[in-house]
Amino acid sequence: MVHFGIDVGGTFTDIVSFDGRKFIHIQTLKTSEFLGNPEIVEKYSDAVFAIAGWVKEGEVIRTPNIPGFDAGLFEGRKVENDANCFAIYAHHITEFSNIFAVTLGTGIGSAIIADSRLYRGNGLASEIGHVFVGGNERCVCGGIGHLETFFSGWAIKRRFGRELNREKLLGLDGFRVLCAEIAKAVVILDPEAVVFGGRISAVLEPEDFELIYSFLPPEFRPEIRIIKDALAVAKGAAILSGGGG
């Protein structure tokens, strides 16, 4: 049986199928185009929709990085947080039992795999992009001084008007802030691995994130991985659609 996963991101939407063995990329389109065509949602009514936003108990409650998002379009559908779907895929291909997953794209997402299962907490576990880290810049969610104001795709575009290469990304103060915040999560969770995904992560290399170790006691040394697969979130959603995860 074929299952479908759809990654509704801040900029693009990816559609993937999975038959239990092989993933197939069906289509990528702009998220604004996808949201403007309800018939596409209806066509894939049995899919899991990975949403770049806060999802609790099967409901999309906030989408700061998707302007004009209409939660009613997905009423009665299976929805999941996009970083959670990325974590499911990360577990699928790395086989680590305990993972702290981080997505760096339009926003900053994160998720937890604990004992090979997705950890949800009270429903909104691990929204690291919206913790206060300092400063007075307003986040797209309305808060002040959140991590996303330092190193997210939207914050970089706001500041520079363009995407940045590896050298310039590593030179940003925001990169150091990001690594320090991830280190806090590592001390709390003690994961086997920190696994990165997303468009910004794809520009970087695992050794770049070894800065995280400088904020940690020497006893904490999770492996650092980067999954450079633009379809990772959609693939994780497809796995969930098939009952995995």
pTM of the model: 0.95
DSSP 124: T
What stretch of H or E contains 100? strand 99-104
pLDDT value for 144? 97
Pairing state between β 78-81 and 48-51: parallel
CA 8 – CA 29 distance, rounded (Å): 10
Contact (CB, 8 A) for 209 and 101: no
Please determine whether the domains at 3-84+232-241 and 95-226 fall in the same fold group of CATH.
Answer: yes
CA 37 – CA 91 distance, rounded (Å): 32
pLDDT value for 67? 82
Domain ranges of the chain: 3-84+232-241, 95-226
What stretch of H or E contains 13? strand 12-18
Contact (CB, 8 A) for 68 and 35: yes
DSSP 231: T
Residues forming beta bridges with residue 225, ordered by sequence position: 195
pLDDT value for 241? 94
pLDDT value for 68? 83
By three-state DSSP, how is residue 1 classified? coil
Residues forming beta bridges with residue 85, ordered by sequence position: none
Q: What averages of pLDDT result for each successive group of 10 residues across the chain (245 residues)? A: 94 95 96 92 94 93 89 93 97 96 96 97 94 96 97 96 97 98 98 97 98 98 98 98 82
Q: Can you identify the CATH homologous superfamily of domain 95-226? A: ATPase, nucleotide binding domain (3.30.420.40)
Architecture, CATH, for domain 3-84+232-241: 2-Layer Sandwich (3.30)
